[in-house]
Structures are given as structure tokens and as C-alpha cells.
Structure 1
Amino acid sequence: MTRDIRIEQAELRYETAVFGGDGSGLAGAERGLDGVEAELALARGRVLHARFLAERVEDPRELEVFERAAVLYRGLGDGRGEGEALFWVGAFHQVVRGDAAAALPALERALDLATRAGDLLTMSYALRHLGIAAHIAGELAEARERLEESTRLRWELGFLPGVAANLVGLAHLAAQQDRRADAAALLAEATGLAETAEAHGILGQVAEARKELALP
């Protein structure tokens, strides 16, 4: 297995400091290792989140690793990484804890940082979950605006499973706004995209939405 170059560089700088008497590279080694740790924390948190979605059992480590990633990225001056980590902090509060109010500050900050960094994918996720928060609050027009903007970004990225997931949310909104024909059309489009992307989880969401909304 190939090791991360930053770990190899840290080992070399250790040897240079201990055996060569030159510790000038140690600060750089630490920054490199902070980057490795941040990426590992983010990856571990995503795995824990996926496990929650499958098992619906909260693991307190999920929030800890996402918050740790955000702190590390902030220390590195990596706004893109910090924005992604903060999105997941918000997602944890919203999805795992069911606390939309606690999620909002992290989601809004994530959107701001991702926008500054030009990170369209994280922007799309933050917008989606801000739309969900607006939906929960009964702000249907705002929810639709957020979800449609998220969907536009996902089309731009070619992220078809993400587009399909958003269309399911937009279908729920359309039904609540008495736009049942629009809701049916959105679910039909979501079905086609999910089938193309082999996104079987999204197909399950479509089937559940059709049943809940009594749509063909």
C-alpha cells in the first residue's frame, strides 16, 4: 500500500532534526500531518454517517470527528476543507439528532466557505440541507428556491444521483403547494435519473414518496 507523501516527509524531517541537528522542517511536518488527520477525520465521519443511515443508531464519534476536521482545516487556513467539514457537522445535527435549529449555523457557514472556495459540490449539499430546514420550518418558497439552486449545481457537476434525490424533495414541496401534476413529473424524472445512475437507494425514496403522496 502506498503511504501518504506527507507521512513520509514527516519521517524524513524527524530524522533530519534528530540525527542532522536541523529542526527547521518540523513545523512544516506538523502542518502536513494536520492535513492528513483532517482528511482521515472527514472520511471516518462520512463512514459513520452512512452507517447511521443504514442502522439508525447514533454514534457519538461522528460529531467529534467532523468537529475535529473543521478545527484542523481552520488552523491550516483551508476554507474549502473547513466548509465541507462544517456541512457534515450541520448534517449530523439535522439528520442524526433531528435538530434543525442547531444545524443552521454550521450549514450557513459551510455554504459561505464553499461559495468563496468555488466548491460546487459542498455548496449543493449545504443548499439542499438549508432547503430541508426551510421545509421543516414551513417556509415552502424558500425551501423550493434552495433545492432548485442545489439541483442546478448538481446538474452542472453531472451528479445525477444527487439531482434525483433533490427532485424527490421538490416533489414533496410541489404536493404541499397543490401542484400534484408537477410532483408526479418530478418523481418520474427522478426515477429515470436514478435508474440511469443505478442509484437504488434513491429509487426507494421515489417509491416511498409515491406511496406517501398517493401519486402514480
Structure 2
Amino acid sequence: MGEDRIRHADALYEQAVFGGDRDAPALAERALDAVEADLALARGRILHARFLADRRPDPRELALFRQAADLYRRLGDGRGEGEALFWTGTYHQVVAEEYAEAVPLFRRSYALAEAVGDRLTLSYATRHLAFAAEAEGRPQEARERFEESIALREELDFRPGVAAGKLALAELLRGQGDRAAADRLLDEAAELAAGCGAHGVLGWIEAARAAR
């Protein structure tokens, strides 16, 4: 998609210079802003993956997500803005452990994703709202949101995400003393993760079992 937008910007340059189209430069800038937003979001996600591996925060991550969200907002791209706001919230929640800053971002991300029918971002936003509800002592809300996230991911056949969702729900239920349900969910999660090659998720599941 980025290459298509750059080619479109190049074509608009020719329209402006050779065709005398006065509107073309502004249209080209919008196309390039969209490329810049996509790139910022992608770079931020890679930095987040590195953080999950080594637990060393990189301040560029937050700046990139904010840049992406601002560009998408100015472009009127609700889908992109919703995704970028989710990742901005994830930085606050996971990296900085700032739940108060994260929750409004997740709620806005959820609303935007719902409005445009972006079920994948919806599944992420509600999952992280579940973590917030759990941390704030609202286990029933947390359970409902984990279940919503799992259901959305099942609809999308996003099996690694379903496995991660079942793991999160299992840990919540185990904390409430329902070990049988937790163990059943862990078994389901492990089978799913192994079946789709989600070795990272499988490692999380094994760690959860070892911590029992």
C-alpha cells in the first residue's frame, strides 16, 4: 500500500508541474502523510516487540505511536487512528505501567474500531481494557471483555490471538480459585498455539503452568 501511495504522489507531482493542476500538491501531501503514518505505526510496533523480548523501553516507541495517531486523525482515517491509539495505550499500560493514561486511549480505540468495523483492533482494545479492569478489581468486567476478545478473534480465525486470549482468561479464573476451568482453558490454548506454530504464545502458556 505504501508503494502505491508513493506512486500516486509521483503522478500528482507530474499533474502539478506538467498539467498545471493546482490541487495536486495538497493531494500528494495527503498521500505521503498516509505513508508516514503507516511507517510510524509499523516502526512503533517493532520497537514494542523488542521491548517484550528484552524489557528495555525505547522512548521512540511512544513518539511514533503518537505521530501515527495524529496523522491518521488529520487524514480522517478512523481505522488507522483507532489502531494507533490502541498502541499508544499499550505503551502506557505495558511499558510505562500507567493505567490511568492507557484506559481512555483504549476506550477511544474501541469506539473508533467499532464504528469502522475493525474487529481485530476491537479485539485488542477490549482485551487490554480487561487487563485494566482486572488490575482495578473488577473481575466480572475483565472476564466479559476477555470473552469478547476471544469471540472476535475466533470469528477472524486469528488462532494465535485466540490462544493468547484463552491464556489471559485462564489466569484470571485461576486467580479467582477456579482451577479446573483455568486448566481446561490452558489445555485449549496450548493445543491452538501448537497447531498454528505460535511458539511465543506456547512459551507464555508453559510459564503460566510452571507458576501454578
What is the aligned length? Answer: 212
**2:160 corresponding residue in structure 1:** 161
Q: What is the percent sequence identity of the aligned residues? A: 57
Q: Deviations over 1:112-141 (max 9, x none)?
A: 000001000000000110001111112111
Q: Deviations over 1:78-101 (max 9, x none)?
A: 111100000000001011111111
**1:175 corresponding residue in structure 2:** 174
Please report the RMSD computed on the Cα atoms of aligned residues, expressed in angstroms: 1.4
- 1:15 Cα deviation (Å)? 3.6
TM normalised by structure 1 equals 0.94
Residues 13 and 23 of structure 1 are in contact (CA less than 8 Å); yes or no, is this contact kept in structure 2?
no
The secondary structure found in structure 2 opposite 1:4 is helix
Consecutive unaligned residues in structure 1, runs of 5 or more: none
Residues 2 and 35 of structure 2 are in contact (CA less than 8 Å); yes or no, is this contact kept in structure 1?
no
**1:186 corresponding residue in structure 2:** 185
- 1:42 Cα deviation (Å)? 0.8
Q: Within 5 Å, give how 1:19-38 maps onto structure 2.
A: 19-38=18-37
**1:92 corresponding residue in structure 2:** 91
**1:63 corresponding residue in structure 2:** 62
* AA at the equivalent of 1:87: F
**1:42 corresponding residue in structure 2:** 41
* Stretches (4+) displaced over 6 A: none
TM normalised by structure 2 equals 0.95
How far apart are the structure 1 equivalents of 2:45 and 2:39? Answer: 10
- 1:177 Cα deviation (Å)? 1.5
Q: Deviations over 1:62-81 (max 9, x none)?
A: 11111111111111111111
**2:10 corresponding residue in structure 1:** 11
* AA at the equivalent of 2:176: Q
- 1:27 Cα deviation (Å)? 1.1
